Amino acid sequence: MPRVSVAAAIAEVAGRDPVMAALVERVGPVRLTATRRSEDGYFAELAESIAYQQLAGKAAAAIWARFRALVEGDLTPEAVLALPEPAMRSAGLSGAKAASIRDLAAKVADGTVPLGDIHRLSDDDIVDRLVAVRGIGRWTAEMFLIFTLRRLDVWPVDDYGVRKGWTVAYGLAALPTPKELMAFGERFRPYRTIAALYCWRAVDTALPGT
C-alpha cells in the first residue's frame, strides 16, 4: 500500500466519522513526522523504554543517564552484552530490567529482533518479535510503532488514554473494553494511529458538552 501523508490520513479519518471530524476541527492537525534512525538508535530507544517502565520521569532519567555513562559512544547490543550485570545494577537498574535490556541486546544480536531492516516488517510481525523480549509487552511495542516508526495503522486498545479519549469524544457513560474499542476502531483502517492520536488529545481538549 502506498505511503500517504499524515494530512491525507487525517482527512480520511474525519470523513468517515462525524464525531472524529468535530474533534479534528477542534484540535487541529496532529503531527507524526517520519524519522529514519539507525539500528543502534532503535536499540537505544527500546532499551530506554525498558529502563523507564514503572518509574517517575526524573528517577528514570537519572538511572538512564548513569547507565548510558557506562558505554562510550553509541549504545549497541554488543556494548551491552559486554557489560557485567553488577555494573548495570550499580547504575540503578533493577535485576529484572538489567536482564530485560541484556535479553533485548541478545535478541537484536542474533536477529530475533532485526532492527537493521525493521522497516521491511509488518506491524504484526514487529509486535510479535518485540514481545518475545523479556520486559517488552504489546503496549511498548505499539508505542514504538507509533512514535518511532510512525506507522499509521496502530490501534492500542489497552491504552488508558485512548480508551478515556474515546469515552470523552463519544460521550459514553463508561470506558469501552479493549474488545469493544477494537471493534469501534475498524472504521478507521488503515489509519487507526490517527484516531488514537486524536483520542489522546480529546482527554486534554475541551469538547462541546464536557
Question: 158 an active-site residue?
Answer: no
CB atoms closer than 10 angstroms to residue 210 = 9
- Name the DSSP class of 49: H
Q: How far apart are CA 128 and CA 28, in angstroms?
A: 34
Q: How far apart are CA 125 and CA 137, in angstroms?
A: 14
- E strands, 91-131, where? none
Cβ atoms of 153 and 123 closer than 8 Å: yes
| Catalytic entry in 103, 117, 159, 204 | 159
By the 10 Å C-beta count (0-12 exposed, 13-18 middle, 19+ buried), 98 is classed as buried
CB atoms closer than 10 angstroms to residue 184 = 17
Q: How far apart are CA 152 and CA 84, in angstroms?
A: 39
Q: Which residue has the cell 479519549?
A: 165
Q: What are phi and psi of 84, to 5 degrees?
A: -70, 145
Which amino acids are annotated catalytic? 159
